Structure 1
Amino acid sequence: MSRSLASQIQDVLPKTSDTYYKLILTVGPERAGKTAALTELAAKHKWPRVNVNLSLAEQLLGLTHRQRAVRAAGILDDIASARNSNVVLLDNIELLFAIELAQDPLKLLQSLSRNRTIVAAWPGDFEGATLTYAVPGHPEARRYPAPQAVIVRAGDTERQDVRAVRRETK
């Protein structure tokens, strides 16, 4: 029986204690269980779970386009700091990839993780040693070879099970 995604995240938390960036990325496509895992961890440990799209958008709403790009990183840091927790769970981070904000999402998350452990649900893929978001050619596409973060892949056990079933049915 495979361990839950929340258990896998909890198991790698100690790996960040002595690292420069205390960043854990839970990587996987939509419906891979990332939100459910973060919700489970929030309930179990009383860690704050932040819907980044909602929280950041609310703060950016009254700003001009230029102000949004300049202040987005500081606002997100304020949002995380206001949670008064050593571990902050970030969900729904797609807004960080918006071209209008002119941010490097991985660098932004790394910066947040200097003062606290950040566990973020990354809506993309991790193949080999490369972290990606969106398909190549998409305006918001990102590619990070060897990212400085602990990676937990969502949906790995399900994909392995599907491959095993396909081999058995051939």
Structure 2
Amino acid sequence: MAASLSSQIQDVLPKTQDTYYKLILAVGPARTGKTAALTELAAKHKWPRVNVNLCLSEKLLELTHRQRAIRVAGILNDTVRDENSSVVLLDNIELLFAPELAQDPLKLLQSLSRNRTIVAAWPGNFDGSSLTYAEPGHPEARRYPTPQAVIVNAGEADPPGIGPSGKVTK
């Protein structure tokens, strides 16, 4: 029987405590159970679940185009810090990839995970060595070879293990 995505995330959680970045990415395309897994973890452990798109869009609305790019990281950092939890779940992170915000989404998530565990739903793919978002040529496309994060692939049949670089392996 395959372990649920929320169980896989929960299983790797203790192993992130000794890593520089306490970042777990639940990676998969749309409709692979990432939001359901984060919702389940939030309910079970009382961890806060932040809808990043909603949070940022509300707070960036009043700012100028230039101010948005400058302030997005601080707003997200304040939001996570205000949750006052050792584990924060981040869902719907697509806005972080918007070219007009000029952010490096992985680096931003890593910086958030220095002082607390961040579990983020990453809408993309992980092929065992590279983490991607969007298709090559798309204005929001990103590719990260050997990302410094624990990766849990949504929809995988077997629970993952952690490799020497901190990546989750099969």
After TM superposition, the score normalised by the length of structure 1 is 0.92
The aligned amino acid for 1:39 is T
Matched residue count: 158
Aligned 1:10-159 pairs, distance under 5 A? 10-157=10-157
- Alpha-carbon distance in structure 1 between the residues aligned to 2:108 and 2:92: 15
Bigger proportion of residues as helix: 1
Question: Over residues 72-118 of structure 1, what are the superposed CA-to-partner deviations in whole Å (9 max), with x where a residue is unaligned?
Answer: 00000001011000000000000000001000000000000001100
1:156 is displaced (CA, Å) by 1.7
Whole-Å Cα distance in 2 between the matches of residues 144 and 31 of structure 1?
22
* Identity among equivalent pairs (%): 80
User: What is the CA RMSD across the aligned residues, in angstroms?
Assistant: 0.9
Report the secondary structure of 2:18's partner residue: coil
CA distance in 2, matches of 1:127, 1:4: 20
> Deviation of residue 15 (structure 1)?
1.3
Give the structure with higher Rg (CA): 1
Residue 148 of structure 2 aligns with an amino acid whose one-letter code is Q
> Following TM superposition, where does structure 1 have runs of at least 4 consecutive aligned residues deviating by more than 3 angstroms?
none
* Structure 2 counterpart of 1:64, one-letter code: T
Q: Which amino acid aligns with 1:92?
A: N
Give per-residue Cα distances to partners, 1:20-63, cap 9 Å, x unaligned: 10000000000000000000000000000000000011110100
Give the Cα separation in 2 of the matches to 1:24 and 1:95.
19
Distance 1:45 1:80 in 2: 17
1:14 Cα deviation from its structure 2 partner: 1.0
Q: Which consecutive residues of structure 1, in runs of 5 or more, have no partner in the other structure?
A: 159-170
| 1:51 alignment partner AA | N
- Structure 2: which 5+ runs fail to align? 159-170
